[in-house]
Amino acid sequence: MLNRTADNVARATPEPLARKIRGISDKGLAWLFISPTILLLLAINIFPLFWAIYLSFTNYRANRPNEVVKNLGLSNYQRILGDQDIWIAMQTTAHFVFWTILLQTVIGFTLAWLIDRKFRGHAFWTTIILVPMMLSPAVVGNFWRFLYEPQIGLFSYVISFVTGIPPTNVQMLSNVELAPWAIIIVDTWMWTPYVMLICLAGLRSIPEYIYEAAEVDRASNWRQFWSITLPMALPFIMLAVLFRGIENFKMFDMVNLLTGGGPGSTTEVASITLKRQAFESWRTGYSSAFAIILFVAVFGLANIYVKALNKVKQR
Amino acid sequence: MKSTLKLALGLASAITASTAVSTAAHAEDLTLCWAAWDPANALVELSKDFTKETGIGMKFEFVPWTEYAARFLNELNSHGKLCDLIIGDSQWIGGSAENGHYIKLNDFFDKEKISMDDFVPATVVGYSEWPKNTPNYWALPAMGDVVGWTYRKDWFSKPELQKEFKEKYGWDLAAPTTFDQLKQIAEFFQKRQIDGKTVYGASIYTERGSEGITMGAMDVLYSFGFQYENPKKPYEMEGFVNSEKSVKGLEFYKALYDCCTPPGASNSYMGEGVDAFKSGQVAMHMNFAFTWPGLQKDENVGGDKIGYFVNPKGPDGDQFAQLGGQGISVVSYSDKQESALKYIKWFANKDVQAKWWSLGGYSCLNAVVKDPKFPSSQPYAQTFLDSMAIVKDFWAEPSYAQLLQASQKRFHDYVVAGQGSAKDALDGLVKDWTQVFQDDGKM
């Protein structure tokens, strides 16, 4: 009886599709299916990358199509690494990345920990907290510019109300000292919910029985936090830091909308410098070299970080 | 089912046919590219006459000033066919001529008897010629423009303010003729209460992203004695760009920014300046002349309340103003060059130019601006004429974008961010510009 059923099933099963398409093996068919994706990737990712690498060794300028392209060897790289303005832009970027990640991680984790308490209305508050993340950066940049406006901005009036300083003296985007913080505040406001979500996923993944066992052992809340909550949520926190770190290293839109890199060059992060060199000064070869240096830096740092993340996970 | 299919086929055919007809009808439509600003609206209105006369339709591609250069230089560099005609900025002329983006107009001008002698000389040099001061024309002067100033005539004429001003400074409160006077007036109005509102001295250019702070600072530097290069030795900049007089000029611009601008005005250009003046925030306002027709018509600050004055004199009596404005060129990648040239021929006509001025555009044709009725045709007409007589322009070299970015950075770092000294900024500028010209093989 069983044998007869198996025969029937075998007969009913269609031949592999590949055999029906003459001359194409299963492997060939697989390649056929993935080739559009590969071609697209080659066209929009791999080719531009190799083209940029090639251009980085030349004096090519996109606004001089008729000019002879000369090979400069490593000259562009040498000039970038010796350019004081580039190093200042890198320092500005590092300052921005460090503070945004620190604030977003601390506030994001705290919010996640509070939301995880499951108090009354926690779902509603979770939604409210997530709103900034759902907005377009262009919208966020523009409305914060109005909020920071010294004469009519709400932010200036709140600061004035709290400190007694006249609102027109609270020049968040014009003051050299305050402008970098103005951007850090906006980025933190917008992306802390994202860090919170990842941390919340981490906190919710901790099995309840571990806490029950800790309570049986009479571990204090503080002890439970340091010995269970934080270590077990750490891989998630590190993941959030990785995502935000990569994103903020190439931060462009918010800075461009809020300060355009000013006042002076105080908020000119690396991506703004890159854009200026590439599309305003039209130094295509030079900016390609800078882009490659940035790519290698982010790629290298991310790799080191991922290795550390894996080690934490394995513990 | 069959009837539905027939209906669908019928509709599809009708749509296809109508599209084909409309495409054929508009095959010769010209696209004109320019910045999105008030004169562009006037040009749309003016161009309706061209369509009426020739049957050639006009389409327009207007881009906001902040994106204007990037958008259209990209278009030209990629040999795009979007624009048949382009009103390109004066500083693009060198690059566009050398890179073959514009067609040379000499033969066309000869054939159509369009003489460059009929146009204001400064606009011919500024908008049409490359190399400068040679009879090689790449554009027809289209929109004359220059940086000048507006002021609140109604505030200046308040008796109590006049009295207080005279007591404080010893001269009558009136439109300034020197930069010293301008600063005194700006200081006088800074944070003053007028009609229950706090007002400020002056709105000046401080924008970092495109060209703002350079246009503003140069407007002052020229009159203080700044020169781009040694007049006897091209590209020699040491001692000219960073001369003592230039340093004094840049220090003055920073002092004006520090003492007398509205709070938060660290990234102001044309739009922000107009907003500051229209909203009654400032007593004086630096801006290109194209903004004047709009301000004159404004209900709150226009009419009798507004006055105009030419960029003031420097300490040694020198007086110059930053040239703005553009010429109109035919894009060499266009397939409709013949129609585009017809437009240029039509635009050069005296009656068209007169109408251009009446609609809010600034004609560069001598026949229009030297007409005896011209100075009284608008309250700002005389100031425009006087300003156009003293213009200077930024580098128009093929590398102008790099040269401009360098000055934007150096000026903003010093004037707005207060980093280093004026001497440092100008020494740095000489270094940057020298590097650019060395890369170009010109030094």
Read off the pLDDT of residues B420-439 as tens digits, 9 standing for 90 and up: 999 999 999 999 999 999 98
Long-range residue pairs from A303-312, CB within 8 A, at least 24 positions apart, any chain? A305/A238, A305/A241, A305/A242, A305/A245, A306/A242, A308/A238, A309/A235, A309/A238, A309/A239, A309/A242, A312/A234, A312/A235, A312/A238
| CATH for the B29-145+325-392 domain, from 3.40.50.10490, 3.60.15.10, 3.40.50.720, 3.40.190.10 | 3.40.190.10
Share of chain B above pLDDT 90, in %: 84
Q: What is the pLDDT along chain A (315 residues), one digit of tens a residue?
A: 545 655 665 566 566 554 555 678 888 889 999 999 999 999 999 999 999 999 999 999 888 877 889 999 999 999 999 999 899 999 999 999 999 999 999 999 999 999 988 788 888 989 999 999 999 999 999 999 999 998 889 999 999 999 998 888 899 999 999 999 999 999 999 999 999 999 999 999 999 999 999 999 999 999 999 999 999 999 999 999 999 999 999 899 999 999 989 899 999 999 999 999 998 888 999 999 999 999 999 999 999 999 988 888 776
In angstroms, the Cα distances linking A36 to A43, A51, B436 are: 10, 21, 44
The arithmetic mean of pLDDT across residues B396-418, rounded, is 93
pLDDT at residue A3 in the model: 56
- Chain B residue whose CA is closest to A83: B432
The arithmetic mean of pLDDT across residues B194-201, rounded, is 95
HSE at residue B173, side-chain half, CA atoms within 13 A, is: 26
Whether B396 shows a pLDDT value over 90: the answer reads no
A75 at B interface, C-beta within 8 A: no
Which tops the pLDDT comparison, B6 or A261? A261
Q: Which of B70, B100, B412 is facing A262, going by the closest CB pair?
A: B412
Give the start-to-end residue ranges of the domains of chain B. 29-145+325-392, 147-322+397-439
Query: Between chains, do B413 and A282 touch, taking CB under 8 Å as contact?
Result: no
* DSSP tag of A168: G
Query: Between chains, do B265 and A174 touch, taking CB under 8 Å as contact?
Result: yes
| Residue B37 to chain A, least CA–CA distance (Å) | 21
Handedness of CA A43, A49, A52, A57 (dihedral sign): negative
Instruction: Give the span between the Cα atoms of B272 and B202, in whole angstroms.
Output: 12
**Beta pairing partners, A227:** none
The arithmetic mean of pLDDT across residues B391-414, rounded, is 92
The chain B residues in contact with chain A (CB within 8 A) are 69-70, 73-74, 77, 79, 95, 98-100, 198, 208-209, 262-267, 281, 398, 401-402, 404-405, 409, 412-414, 416-419, 439
Is the bond leading into B131 cis (omega within 30 degrees of zero)? yes
pLDDT at residue B70 in the model: 83
Per-residue model confidence as pLDDT tens digits over A5-57: 556 655 665 665 545 556 788 888 899 999 999 999 999 999 999 999 999 99
Q: Which of B95, B267, B418 is facing A176, going by the closest CB pair?
A: B418
pLDDT at residue A19 in the model: 55
pLDDT at residue B91 in the model: 85
- Chain B residue whose CA is closest to A168: B263
CATH 1.10.3720.10 in chain A, residue ranges: 75-314
Q: Which of A151, A261, A282 is facing B208, going by the closest CB pair?
A: A261
From chain A, pick out residues whose CB is under 8 angstroms from the CB of B100: 66
Share of chain B above pLDDT 70, in %: 94
| Residue B404 to chain A, least CA–CA distance (Å) | 8
pLDDT at residue B43 in the model: 96
Instruction: Give the span between the Cα atoms of B23 and B16, in whole angstroms.
Output: 10
pTM of the model: 0.85
The arithmetic mean of pLDDT across residues B380-408, rounded, is 92
From chain B, pick out residues whose CB is under 8 angstroms from the CB of A259: 267
Q: Which of B69, B264, B412 is facing A171, going by the closest CB pair?
A: B264
- Chain A residue whose CA is closest to B265: A174
pLDDT at residue A152 in the model: 86
Confidence of residue B27 (pLDDT cuts 50, 70, 90): low
Whether B4 shows a pLDDT value over 70: the answer reads no
Query: Between chains, do A65 and B99 touch, taking CB under 8 Å as contact?
Result: yes
Q: For domain A75-314, give the CATH superfamily.
A: MetI-like (1.10.3720.10)
pLDDT at residue B31 in the model: 97
| CATH number of the B147-322+397-439 domain | 3.40.190.10
With a CB cutoff of 8 Å and minimum separation 6, the contacts of B332 are B100, B101, B102, B103
Query: Between chains, do B416 and A264 touch, taking CB under 8 Å as contact?
Result: yes
The interface predicted TM-score (ipTM) is 0.79
Whether B368 shows a pLDDT value over 50: the answer reads yes
Cβ pair A183, A176 in contact under 8 A: no
Instruction: Tell me if B29-145+325-392 shares its fold with B147-322+397-439.
Output: yes
